[in-house]
Structure 1
Amino acid sequence: MLIDKDPVHAFVPYGAVPVAGATTGPLAGLRLAVKDIFAVAGYRTGCGCPTKLATSDIAVTTAPAVERLLGAGARFVGKTHTDELAWSLYGMNAHFGTPVNSAAPDRIPGGSSSGSAAAVAADLADIAVGTDTGGSVRAPASFCGLWGIRPSHGRVPLDGCMELAASFDTAGVFARNAATFERVVAVMMGDDADDRPEEPRWLTPTDMLARLGDAQRAVYDAHFGGLDARPVAVYPAGGADALYEAFRILQSCDAKRAVVPFIDASAMPLPAGLDERVAFARRMTPEDEAAGNAVRDPFAAAMDDLLGHDGVLLAPVVHDAPFRLDAGRAVFDGFRHYAIKLLAVAGMARLPQVVFPAGTVDGAPFGLSVIGPRGSDRWLTRLAARQF
C-alpha cells in the first residue's frame, strides 16, 4: 500500500508499488483504493483467500475499470481487503481480519467490499472501487454512511476482475459525499445512452417497505415522505421469499462454474459460512437453474415495464443497520437472508441502484437508495445527489 498508516485495517499490506496514471483530469487529487479482486499492475490479486494469493502472479496490466479512474487523474493508494472469494455480505475474513467501520466501530463494515468502504469512511481514500454481486457495494455503503452504486449489469467492464457470479457481478464505487460521488460515477460509467427527463416518476415499493421496522421506516419517511410518489408492488408471485430463493439458486449456479472448480482443485479449507454456500452450489443442477431463470426473466421484464423511461423506486437498501461484531450466532446466520430479500430486487432485474447516507438506527448508519431504469446510471446519480 502507498499510505503510511492504516488504523482501520482496510488495506492489504502489499509492498508499495507505484501505479502509473494521469496527473490531470476530472479526478485529479483524489486518492483511489481498489478491492483486491481487481488486477493492478505490480500487485498480486489475493481475493481475500490465502490459496489464491499463494498462486497469484504479479499483474502486468491493470483492470480496465480501474484504468478508467487512473486515466482521469485518480491516485492509487492501495488494494483493499475483501471477504474470502468475495462471497459474503459481512466483511469479516477468517484469515485477514475485519476492517473497522469508522462510522460504527463496534459494528460490521459489510462485505464483500469491506476494505474499500472502510478506507473511504476513514478518510484514507476519497474514492474506492468495489464489486456488487448480491449487495457487496450497497450494504457496505449503507453500513458505513457512504455513497455507493451498483451499476446496470454490464455497464462497467469486468476484465481483470475475479468472477464470482457472472450474471450478477458488477463493479461499483464509493465516496463520502455527493459531489465526489458524481465525479467518480461520471468517469466510471460514462454517459448514459439515452436522455431522460428532469423530473422522474417517483415510486414507493410498498412490499419492500413492509420489511422495515418502525425505526427504519422513520428514517425512510423523513427522507422520502414529502415526495409525490405512487405506491407500487414489485415482488413476483411468491413474494420476497420467491425472489430470494431464485437469486440464491442462480448465484450458486454461476459460482459453481466460476469459483467451485478452484476450491475443489486446490482443496482449500473453507471457513464457516462459506462452506455452506459452497455445499449448496455443488448441489445445483440445470433444472435448478432453469427454475431460477423462470423467476428472474419475467421479474426483470416486469421491472422494466414498471420503471419505463423515467420511473425511480424510493427503496430501502437493507432491512437494518449493521449488527454488532459480538452479535450472537442467530444474527450471523440470519441477517444476510433478510438483507438479500431487499438487495435482490435490483440484482435480479439488472438495474442500477444508488445508495446514500440517510440517518441512523440504534446509533449506526442506515442508508437509503434509488433504483432506476436499466442504463440510467448517470441520470440516477444526478437525481440522488440533487434531491438527497
Structure 2
Amino acid sequence: MHDDPFHAFLPYPPAPVAHAPDGPLSGLSLAVKDIYHVAGYRTGAGCPTWLAESPLHQVTAPCVQMLLDAGARFVGKTHTDELAWSMYGMNAHFGTPVNPAAPDRIPGGSSSGSAVAVAGGLADIAIGSDTGGSVRAPASFCGTWGWRPTHGIIPMAGAMALAPSLDACGIFARDGAVLARTAAVMVADSAPMTAPDLLMPADMLALLQPEARAVWQAGFGDLPARQVAVYPEGVDAAYATFLTAVMADAKETILPFIRRSRMPLVRGIDARADMAEALTPDQITQGRAAREAFARHMDGLLGAQGVLLAPVVHDAPFRLNAPVAVFDSFRHDSQRLLCVAGMARLPQVVFPAGTVDGAPFGLSLIGPRGSDLSLIALARQMARQLQVAA
C-alpha cells in the first residue's frame, strides 16, 4: 500500500499475493491484520521481538485464503496492538493509526489498522481478530461495519493465538452489503433465524453513558422487544469470569513467549502478563466452569430465535491526550459489555448508528450460535431504517 495517509499498513516490502480472477468478492480490496500469515510476508503481531523471530511464511492462513479464492485483492498487512493484547490501537513500537472519522480519538484495537483501512477507504474488507472486542470496539469507534462470528466457525490456523477459547477471525467492511458478501464466502447459516425474537438487555443498557443511551434509544427504542437480564450473577461477576478465561488461555499461549524472549513489556501488557502468571490451577478450573455456565445461560436466554439489541461499548472513543485515569478505566468499562458475546461464543454484528461527543458510535445485534448470516441480514434491515449504508 503506497498511499496510506492514516498509517493503517505496515511498510513491509511488497510480495505478490495471488487471488482468483473471478468470484463473489471480485473487485474488492482486502487488508489483513498482522497476526495472520500471508505467503511471502513476515508476521509481526505488533511486537518487534515476534517480528525478529518470524520467517517469511510460505502458506497463507486459511481464513485469508478463503477471501483470496473468492476474488478479493490483497493490499497489505495492517497494524495491531502488541501481541493483540490491548484495545486502544496505540502501539509503542510502531505508532497509532489515525481514526479517519475522529482523528483526535483512539482508533481502537487490537485490530486498529484493519478498522482504519476500511474507515479511510483504503480497503473494502479487512480481516481482524476479536478476543475481547478487538473487531467490535474499533468498528464502533471508526464508524464501520464489523462482525465477530460464532466462535470456531472460521479457522484460526495460521494466526498468532492469544486466548484460543475466545479468539475469533472478525471482519470489517465498508457497508452491510460488502459484509454480507464476505460472510457468505466464509460461513454457512447453520442455525438460520426465521422469526427473530427481539430482546432488550436492560442490565447492559444500564452501563451506557447518557449520550450513548440516546443513540441506542433512537436506533432500537421503538422496536417491539421484551426486556431481559444478561448477567445472571451481576456484571462484575461476569467480567471477572471473562478476565480469568482470557488470562488462563494467555498463560498457555503468549506468556511462555514473553518470558522466554525476555521482551521489554510496555505498560498494560506487563500487568496482564503478571496477572496471567499468578493464576492458580484452581482459579483456572473455577473460571472456566463459570464461563461455561454463562454460555449455557446465554444459550437459554436466546434460544433459537433470540436477538439482543445490544450496545457495543459504553461510550465514544476517548481522545488521544486523555488523562491516564481514562486509559486505565476505559478498557474495563467497555469490556463489561464486550465480554457477553465472546464468553458465550455468540456472533455479534456492529453497524454505525450515530455519534457521541462528536465521534462515531455503533449499535449491534447478538444472536444464537450459527445464525451469522441471518444476523447480518437483520442488521442490514435495521440499518436501512437508520439510513445507514446497508
| 2:255 paired with 1:260 | yes
Indicate yes or no: 2:323 matched with 1:328: yes
| CA deviations over 1:101-145 (Å, ceiling 9, x no partner) | 000000000000000001111101010000000000000000000
Q: Distance in 2 between matches of 1:275 and 1:196?
A: 43
In structure 1, the partner of 2:219 is 223
The secondary structure found in structure 2 opposite 1:358 is: strand
Q: Distance in 2 between matches of 1:212 and 1:341?
A: 11
Q: Which amino acid aligns with 2:63?
A: A
Shift of 1:293: 2.0
Aligned to 1:311: 306
Q: For structure 2, which runs of at least 5 residues remain unmatched after alignment?
A: 384-390
Which whole-Å deviations, capped at 9, do the CAs of 1:18-71 have from their partners, x for residues lacking one? 101101111001010000000000000000000010110001000000000000
Asked if 1:117 is matched to 2:147, the reply is no
How big is the shift at 1:294?
3.0
State the shift of 1:341 in Å: 0.4
> Which structure 2 residues correspond to residues 60-71 of structure 1 after superposition, within 5 A?
60-71=58-69
C-alpha distance after superposition, 1:330-349 (max 9, x if no partner)? 00000000000000111111
Identity %: 64
- Alpha-carbon separation, structure 1, partners of 2:191 and 2:115: 31
Q: Which letter does structure 2 place at the counterpart of 1:363? A: G
3-state SS of 1:261 partner = helix
Give the distance between the partners of 1:31 and 1:77, measured in 2 at CA: 6
8 Å Cα contact 2:191-2:304 kept in structure 1 = no
Q: Quick one: which amino acid aligns to residue 342 of structure 2?
A: G
Give the match's secondary structure for 2:297.
Answer: helix
Which secondary structure state, in structure 1, belongs to the residue aligned with residue 158 of structure 2?
coil
Query: What's 1:287 paired with?
Result: 282
1:191 match: 188
2:232 corresponds to? 236
Q: The residue matched to 1:130 in structure 2 has which SS?
A: strand
Partner of 2:374: 379
Shift of 1:236: 2.2
Separation in structure 1 between the aligned mates of residue 215 and residue 190 of structure 2, nearest angstrom? 34
5 Å-filtered alignment, 1:8-19, equals: 8-19=6-17
In structure 2, distance between residues paired with 1:365 and 1:61: 37
The one-letter code of the counterpart of 1:127 is: I
User: What residue identity is the alignment partner of 1:272?
Assistant: R
RMSD: 0.8
TM-score for the superposition, normalised by structure 1: 0.98
Residue 355 (1) aligns with residue 353 (2): no
Question: Which residue matches 2:387?
Answer: none
Q: Show the counterpart of 2:336.
A: 341
* Aligned length, in residue pairs: 383
Unaligned runs of 5+ in 1: none
Q: Equivalents in 2 of 1:57, 1:343: separation in Å?
A: 34
Q: C-alpha deviations, 1:302-327, integer Å up to 9, x for none?
A: 11011111100000000001000000
Matched residue type, 1:223? G
Q: Which runs of 4+ in 1 moved over 3 A?
A: none
Distance between the aligned counterparts of 1:341 and 1:387, measured in 2? 25
Give the 3-state SS of the residue equivalent to 1:263 in structure 2: helix
The amino acid of 1:36's aligned partner reads: D
**What is the aligned counterpart of 2:126 among 121, 125, 128?**
128
TM-score scaled to structure 2, two decimals? Answer: 0.97
Q: Which residue of 2 aligns with 1:302?
A: 297
1:196 CA drift (Å): 2.5
Q: 2:73 corresponds to which letter in structure 1?
A: R
Deviation of 1:184 after TM superposition, in Å, equals 1.0
Distance 1:194 1:267 in 2: 45
1: distance between equivalents of 2:242 and 2:230? 15
